[in-house]
Structure 1
Amino acid sequence: MNRIDIAYIIHSNLELNYSKLKIQYESSKENIGFFYLDDILPLELAKQIYSVFPKSSEMVLKKSIREDKYIGVQMNKYDALLEEVLYAFQDERIVNLIGKICDIENLQPDSNLYAGGISMMANKQFLNPHLDNSHDKDRNLWRVLNLLYYVTPNWEEDYGGNLELWPKGLKNKQITIQSKFNRLAVMATHNESLHSVSPVNFEGSRKCVSNYYFSNEPLSKSDTFHVTSFRGRPENKFTDFALKADTKIRMLIRKIFKKGIKENPHVYKKE
């Protein structure tokens, strides 16, 4: 199936569940707005997407105290279906409909896949609490929505690798959104949208297709520019101290070099 066919299915399911999704987002947007929808694609198609994911050796390992995961963004190196499903979520009909669900005007998808693409987490891998970079790669648009489509069959919540939202900060209990097979999760990104992925504790791989939407305006008038800003989990005080210092250093660098010292490699460079 191509991206047009896939987008038609996604749009139909979002439209069918429009009222439920809008209520879900509205009830959460005062903190970190989110909604999720299960069975977004036909079962066999979702299984096929999972089956064509590349091996870890064909992806890029990002490993530090901030995160430990595999990513892929140079989509022409992988099975064509992965690129088709990625860009299906960028179809104008879907972008506009999600904009209506979240009451956000003039959403723009990111054809460069800046920090998007595909990702995979295996046993003991994680993504520490963080705020996403506030802007696109050229620092012209504001990042406002994060779309995560999970494709690992039979992934149970107690396996870890789940999306965690921290609307009340790290001193309060997080909201956990299970990385359930064939689930689309959409969350707002702004200065207060602290989120993480819990450590995987299972001998398997949680696989995900990721997109971001941008806008000319931030979600909140108080939002300011920031780099991707990491924190340690509540139980890891030393890591938290080190990551806060790391963020301060990188913010100082960005005050001098607006686009950073070197180009972020997490961009799809199309031939």
Structure 2
Amino acid sequence: MSVLELQDRGGLYAFDEAQCTEAGKQLAERYQSAEPFPHIAIDDFVSKDVLRELLTEFPSSDGHEFFDRDQERFKYQYHPQECGPRVRNLLAELNSQAFLSFLSNMTGIKGLISDPYYLGGGLHETKRGGHLGVHADFNIHNKMKLQRRLNLLIYLNDDWDEAWGGHLELWDREMKGCTEKVAPLIGRAVLFNTDLDSFHGHPDPLACPPERSRRSIATYYYTAPPEGVANLPKRTTVFKERPGSTDRADWKVRAQHMWKDWAPPAVQRMLSSAKAD
């Protein structure tokens, strides 16, 4: 029995809004009281059989671009347009009114908006030796001019050996220590608030066999601040170094943020205009 049931409607799957709403209410206290920031890990979130069907459509990484730098290595992202119909069906349902009702009732965040552009979302894959450093995510959707509020990850890894690593780590807001580790097992979902200090990642290199990889579904959710996003501090992904580790700082991003925070707006506009010319 899954937490959220996907009903078969003529060969397509769909969530039931009433069931989603009730499930969200039942999980609200657990989610909203979690530390170090509001989050939850849920086993059997949706049917494992449905997820195994999706795996038959998982895109090939052959010739595909991937991240390969100190902060994130051997990480692939596949947009829904690169995926088959089963994957696209589930991604559409994860952006539906029914699913937004689940999220709003669980998190207490009203007016959630899904992302039809899937900026950074879709399917994710990390290969052997790859990692994703501890970080806080970008906070502004530039196309929609919205504030990012929630992340959803659904893992797709059958028969995953914990010795291979790949655990999602949640770190405290001061980056003093990891407070929770979540193994990326099939059917397990993780949802969490994406504040500027919601630090998370899977920072140690994967030790899975060469023929295996760490796979997941990722979708993100937003709200429209009443005052707009112009007055919010704009951040791209901010990577953090773990105490006592060999993690390397992302000085380029730090310099960009310092510039945006301290350079006079008129100077920023003038230089942006000059670059455009």
From 236, 239, 255, give the equivalent of 1:249. Answer: 255
Aligned equivalent of 1:201: 207
* 1:118 Cα offset (Å): 0.9
CA distance in 2, matches of 1:4, 1:33: 36
CA distance in 2, matches of 1:252, 1:7: 45
Code of the residue aligned with 1:206 in structure 2: it is R
Code of the residue aligned with 1:100 in structure 2: it is N
> 5+ unaligned residues in a row in structure 2: which ranges?
1-7, 262-267
Aligned equivalent of 1:106: 111
Aligned equivalent of 1:214: 222
Code of the residue aligned with 1:205 in structure 2: it is S
* Larger strand share, 1 or 2: 2
* 1:223 Cα offset (Å): 6.7
Tell me, yes or no, if the aligned pair for 2:23 and 2:102 is still in contact at 8 Å.
Answer: no
Aligned equivalent of 2:238: 229
| Aligned length, in residue pairs | 253
CA distance in 1, matches of 2:29, 2:119: 29
* 1:53 Cα offset (Å): 0.9
Aligned equivalent of 2:34: 28
CA distance in 2, matches of 1:39, 1:213: 21
Aligned equivalent of 2:5: none
* 1:167 Cα offset (Å): 2.0
Percent of aligned pairs with the same residue? 20
Aligned equivalent of 2:133: 128
Aligned equivalent of 2:81: 76
Q: Does 1:119 align with 2:128?
A: no
Code of the residue aligned with 1:227 in structure 2: it is T
* 1:252 Cα offset (Å): 5.0
| Residues 27-75 of structure 1: CA deviation (Å, up to 9, x unaligned) | 216x311112222222321111123211221543111111013333432
Code of the residue aligned with 1:27 in structure 2: it is S
CA distance in 2, matches of 1:187, 1:43: 22
* 1:5 Cα offset (Å): 4.4
- Greater shift in the superposed pair: 193-202 or 205-214: 193-202
TM-score normalized with structure 1 length? 0.81
Q: What is the alpha-carbon root mean square deviation over aligned residues?
A: 3.0
CA distance in 2, matches of 1:216, 1:60: 32
Aligned equivalent of 1:173: 178
Code of the residue aligned with 1:250 in structure 2: it is Q
Change in CA separation of 1:104 and 1:45 when aligned onto 2, cut-off 3 Å? same
Rg larger for = 2
The secondary structure found in structure 1 opposite 2:142 is: coil
Tell me, yes or no, if the aligned pair for 2:59 and 2:78 is still in contact at 8 Å.
Answer: no
After the TM superposition, which residues 17-166 of structure 1 pair with which residues of structure 2 at under 5 Å, given as runs? Answer: 17-28=23-34, 31-57=36-62, 59-138=64-143, 140-166=145-171
CA distance in 2, matches of 1:87, 1:94: 10
